[in-house]
Structure 1
Amino acid sequence: MKKTFEFLKQLNENNTREWFTQHKQEYDIVIKENKTLFNQIYNQLQEYDNLKGIHIFRIYRDVRFSKDPTPYKTNFGAGYSRLKPMLRGGYYIQLEPGNSFVGGGFWGPEAKDLLRIRKEFELNTTEIEKIMSNEIFTKYFGEIKGDAVKTAPRGFDKNHPAIDLIRKKQYVVMRKFTDKEVLSDSFQKEALQTLLAMRPFFDYMSEVLTTDLNGEFLF
């Protein structure tokens, strides 16, 4: 990972196609290193979960609709998707100097799924509160994060005790890692343990999204 961080730091200071072309050989070395790490974690995670696949994100940015004209990302990232429709939630790892993290959750739920989640929290938050108060969950993630609407969504009471959860448009968790932690020999193990710590959250949300409010399976 040391070579990866050195390359990304230089790229951050020289984010041009000319510089990247001149250092393409270095990029080829570090992308191979990262693919090896991401695939090793995928294979380990697969022993505990049913994954559909791995997506290693390209370093090339789509600048057509972006205010940022720089052509390259300054991070390496990989996502692991679970086997739908019964299993929901996505895992993600990002490696970037000063901004590395392991996270996951529900970034952009479909409208019907978002409504189902909100209806569940309107009805009962016992299970999600139990998950959020778990010692490991609290240690790694602190809380469930995500963008939210400013007030109550249409059809929901703004004074509902669980309004902070109901207002959310995303339900994600994240554990940040320092550069020193990423560069340590224990990072791969810690990353895997962090991904596994999301499982109770993912499994509960999967149960919600595959049943109706009466607990009857939809599939």
Structure 2
Amino acid sequence: MLQSSTLTFLKNLKKNNNREWFEKNRAAYEAAKEDMARLVDDVIRQFGKKEEGIAPLTAKECVYRINRDVRFSKNKAPYKNNMAASLIKGGKKAANAGYYIHIQPGGESFIGGGRYMVEPSELKKIRQEIDYSWEEFEKIIGNKKFRSTYGELERGEGMALSREPKGYEKDNPAIEYIKLKSFVATTSLTDADLTGKDLVKKITAAFETLQPLIRFLNRALED
């Protein structure tokens, strides 16, 4: 579970996203940062029993900096309004599919994972794997537990092509997934979930449900 003070810090940061306020409240930030690290370490400890690639990780290798890169953004707010972590074999900068935790109070928290905005060379491999192993992929995303937890793969703006990619026919049974440029599944967390005693259990269970998809994607990328 997370401390309610961590959610309070993030709520206040959203209202006061400037360096002067942040420095005055650095102690609250450091406490929230440690709280997030404890959560991630607890998830690694539990989920690592099921996913050996996750087991050696530490929170430091998974949690993202709260500072925003504003160099190419119109939004010059210096800090993110969330805390997030990627649990990926090799650490958060690795190019593998993996698991994600996003903490943002106000009903904007979620967990999930996959592979976001895949590079063309890797995208070709994933599409080919889906095409060749469609029955297996269909079973993964059609699994009752997967559907009840995640619903469908994300199809937000820019995450899929409007028509079939070159080399694939419209009547391909897998075509709606072959069109994807990202392969991501998410499920939301309430603020009550975040401070509940079952948070680690809830995250671990969701990650276990996602595991077959992650392994499928990484198999494609490793081929």
Q: TM-score, normalised by structure 2?
A: 0.87
> 1:43-82, CA deviations, whole angstroms, 9 ceiling, x for partnerless residues?
2222211226332101111111111111110111111112
- Aligned pairs (5 A) from 1:32-51: 32-49=34-51, 50-51=53-54
- The counterpart of 1:56, out of the listed 63, 70, 93, is 63
- The counterpart of 1:204, out of the listed 205, 213, 216, is 216
- Aligned pairs (5 A) from 1:1-219: 1-49=3-51, 50-51=53-54, 53=57, 54-82=61-89, 88-97=96-105, 98-146=107-155, 147-211=159-223
Among the aligned pairs, what percent are the same residue?
Answer: 32
**RMSD across aligned positions (CA):** 1.9
Report the Cα distance in structure 2 between the residues aligned to 1:187 and 1:126, rounded to whole angstroms.
Answer: 33
Report the Cα distance in structure 2 between the residues aligned to 1:207 and 1:29, rounded to whole angstroms.
Answer: 38
Report the Cα distance in structure 1 between the residues aligned to 2:218 and 2:18, rounded to whole angstroms.
Answer: 43
Report the Cα distance in structure 2 between the residues aligned to 1:107 and 1:135, rounded to whole angstroms.
Answer: 24
CA contact (8 A) 1:57 1:77 kept: yes
Task: Give the number of the structure whose alpha-carbon radius of gyration is greater.
Answer: 1
Post-superposition offset of 1:138: 0.7
Post-superposition offset of 1:154: 1.8
Count of residues in Structure 1 that have an aligned counterpart in Structure 2: 209
Q: Any stretches of 5+ residues in structure 2 without a counterpart? A: none
CA contact (8 A) 1:45 1:192 kept: yes
3-state SS in 1 of match to 2:11: helix
Match of 1:214 in 2: none
Which moved further from structure 2: 15-24 or 118-127? 118-127
Post-superposition offset of 1:182: 1.4
Q: Any stretches of 5+ residues in structure 1 without a counterpart? A: 212-219
3-state SS in 1 of match to 2:34: helix
Q: Which residue identity is paired with 1:143?
A: E
Which moved further from structure 2: 124-133 or 163-172? 124-133
Q: Which residue identity is paired with 1:137?
A: F
Report the Cα distance in structure 2 between the residues aligned to 1:62 and 1:123, rounded to whole angstroms.
Answer: 39
Q: TM-score, normalised by structure 1?
A: 0.88
> 1:96-118, CA deviations, whole angstroms, 9 ceiling, x for partnerless residues?
11211111101133323211221
